[in-house]
Amino acid sequence: MIETIIVLLITGIIIMGILVSPSLTKWQRNRFKQRPFPPLWNAVINVNLPIYQCLTPSERKRLQGHIQVFLAEKQFIGCKGLQVTEEIKLVIAATACLLLLNERGKYFPRLRSILIYPSTYLVNEKAYSGNYVVEERRVARLGESWTSDQVVLAWSQVKRDTCNWQDGHNVVVHEFAHQLDQEDGFAEGVPILQRDSDYSIWAIVMTKEYQQLCNDIERGLRTVIDSYGATNPAEFFAVATETFFEKPHQLLKKHPAVYQQLQRYYQLDPIQWV
Ligand SMILES: [Zn+2]
């Protein structure tokens, strides 16, 4: 009898925990968002991220709230002797949170830590044939996003990309777009969409445009979406997101269907900023 009561009590506590946890997270995040945003932080973002000045006051306020949550929840780790400064944290947080500006996503739920190297870093890359490693080589990387819990970035590239908005390249936007794609545990170029009915339109548009990009690259044509997007559908989504934020006019003109899908997904229209 006593054992049954204990089992019931434990089950009740677990169920209560499951039910209360999301509300607790929401409450905690609202508290983070209400923290005062130091003027120095504002100045640092202004200097490093020119697009920040183009946001409306209400967008800026919303972004500041997201940055507070991001800084409170994610861990920043310097690698190869890099000292993680406030500037580094703010630039990465502000750029990543632009993707969440209009309540898109849940603060990259799988992500725990951001590893930052001073500049390009080297990794061992293995090529497989079935289960066998057929080639192993050292390759230079600027950033990567893991389905487990980490994003890796080269700070020199982050700095170059954020100051040079409008060239269609941004390693932070790229890697955090991968995080959104990987929210469901798979990197396949399909993030979690608002409605079930959105998936079929997304698949039709993105598959057609991905294949078009592959064909254009094969024929040696110049493209608005960088050729790296032709690597696979996951890279297509990440590179198209970079183009959407940095070259919205060109993307809308050349690939209106892609623009429309990304506008719907991110719930924003970057044309108003550039
Ligand atoms: Zn990528």
CATH code assigned at 202? 3.40.390.10
pLDDT tier for residue 144 given thresholds of 50, 70 and 90: confident
What's the CA-to-centroid distance between 86 and ligand 1, angstroms? 26
Pairing label, strands 143-145, 113-117: unpaired
Q: What is the pLDDT of residues 145-178, one digit of tens each?
A: 887 799 999 999 999 999 888 899 999 999 999 9
pLDDT tier for residue 132 given thresholds of 50, 70 and 90: confident
pLDDT for the residue numbered 260: 98
C-beta separation of 59 from 51 below 8 A: no
Kindly tell me if the per-residue pLDDT of 6 is higher than 70.
Answer: no
SS3 label, residue 152:
strand
Q: What is the pLDDT of residues 11-64, one digit of tens each?
A: 665 555 555 577 899 999 999 999 999 999 999 999 999 899 999 999 999 999
* Residue-number span of the structural domain to which 215 is assigned: 188-274
Q: Where are the beta strands (DSSP E) in the chain?
A: 75-78, 113-117, 121-129, 132-141, 143-145, 150-154
Assess if residue 223 is contained within a domain.
yes
What's the CA-to-centroid distance between 175 and ligand 1, angstroms? 6
Assess if residue 116 is contained within a domain.
no
pLDDT for the residue numbered 172: 97
Kindly tell me if the per-residue pLDDT of 268 is higher than 90.
Answer: yes
What's the CA-to-centroid distance between 152 and ligand 1, angstroms? 11
CA distance 190 to 188: 6
Assess if residue 81 is contained within a domain.
no
Residue type, 266: Y
Q: What percent of the chain has pLDDT over 90?
A: 75
What's the CA-to-centroid distance between 235 and ligand 1, angstroms? 5
What's the CA-to-centroid distance between 14 and ligand 1, angstroms? 38
C-beta separation of 161 from 142 below 8 A: no
Residue 54 neighbours by CB under 8 Å, 6+ apart? 272, 273, 274
SS3 label, residue 14:
helix
Assess if residue 212 is contained within a domain.
yes
Identify any residues that bridge with 143 across adjacent strands, giving them in sequence order.
153
What's the CA-to-centroid distance between 177 and ligand 1, angstroms? 9
What's the CA-to-centroid distance between 120 and ligand 1, angstroms? 15
Q: Give the chain's domain count.
A: 1
Tokens of 89: 């944290």
Kindly tell me if the per-residue pLDDT of 103 is higher than 90.
Answer: no
Kindly tell me if the per-residue pLDDT of 202 is higher than 90.
Answer: yes
Q: What is the pLDDT of residues 234-264, one digit of tens each?
A: 999 999 999 999 999 999 999 999 999 999 9
pLDDT for the residue numbered 124: 82
Assess if residue 70 is contained within a domain.
no
Assess if residue 96 is contained within a domain.
no
What's the CA-to-centroid distance between 81 and ligand 1, angstroms? 25
Assess if residue 192 is contained within a domain.
yes
What's the CA-to-centroid distance between 220 and ligand 1, angstroms? 22
Assess if residue 71 is contained within a domain.
no
Residue 151 neighbours by CB under 8 Å, 6+ apart? 111, 113, 114, 115, 143, 144, 145, 175, 176, 179
Identify any residues that bridge with 132 across adjacent strands, giving them in sequence order.
129
